[in-house]
Every structure is written in C-alpha cells, then in structure tokens.
C-alpha cells in the first residue's frame, strides 16, 4: 500500500473500526449514529422490532464493503456522497438519549476529523 493508503488505514483503525470491524467492516450491532430525526418519516429504528426505549433510533451498522458503489448512504438515503457522511460524523451528530457512547466522548459529539483526514 502507498503511504497515503497506510495513513488512511491508520485513521480508519483509530476512528471507525470500533463499529466497522471484522473482514466485513461491520460489527452487526445496532447503534444510534446521531442523525437528526426526520419528522416526515416515522422511522424509530430497532425500537419498531424490540419496543425497548433503549433501541429508539438505532439502526444496523452497515458493512463498508464496496461502499463507494452503494450510494445513497444511511438507513434513509439522506446522504449522496461519502464526503457528506464524513461531514455528518465530524460536525453533524445530534445528541439524544440513545446516542452511541462512542459518538459522545467527554461531551464532544461525533468523530473529530480534520480536512486532511477526510479523503478528497
């Protein structure tokens, strides 16, 4: 791998691999990733199946295999580019009672990503 690819892989391992793990790049869990609620959709996530309040707005962590070919992104298709996805995680995460703990570390929402850490 090139130097840039190795650097990207290190960033991925540091900031993304806790959820996007294994050879399929998913841990198959259900998590609230801090998307703003879309009031036009009554999409309450895993709660619809379990009826547990702790599952509200949790959705299955998707595989990242061939991710560049699977737009649009998120459970409701709200993002059309991977750049928009990364922007959500770096500055668009909304707090809620069921937000995944990895997205709220010491009161800091999201995953800090500099512009140089986001691919062009």
pLDDT at residue 62 is higher than 90: yes
Q: Which pLDDT belongs to residue 17?
A: 94
Lookup: tokens for 31: 């998590």
Q: Which pLDDT belongs to residue 27?
A: 95
Q: Which pLDDT belongs to residue 120?
A: 64
Work out the number of other CB atoms within 10 angstroms of the CB of residue 70.
Answer: 12
Q: Cα(71)–Cα(91) distance, rounded to whole angstroms?
A: 20
pTM greater than the 0.85 cutoff: yes
Lookup: tokens for 39: 């009031």
Query: Average of pLDDT values for 42-57?
Result: 95
Angle at 84 between CA 6 and CA 76, to 5 degrees: 120
Cα–chain center distance at 28: 13
Q: Which pLDDT belongs to residue 40?
A: 87
């Amino acid at each position: 791998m090139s130097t840039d690819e190795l650097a990207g892989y290190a960033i991925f391992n540091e900031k993304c691999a806790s959820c996007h793990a294994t050879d399929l790049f998913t841990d198959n869990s259900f998590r609230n990733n801090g998307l703003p609620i879309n009031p036009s959709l009554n999409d309450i996530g895993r709660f619809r199946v379990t009826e547990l309040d702790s599952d509200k707005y949790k959705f299955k962590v998707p595989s990242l295999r061939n991710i560049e070919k699977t737009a649009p992104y998120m459970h409701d298709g709200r993002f059309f580019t991977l750049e928009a996805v990364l922007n959500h995680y770096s500055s668009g995460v909304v707090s809620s009672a069921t937000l995944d703990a990895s997205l709220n570390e010491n009161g800091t929402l999201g995953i800090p990503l500099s512009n140089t850490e986001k691919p062009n």
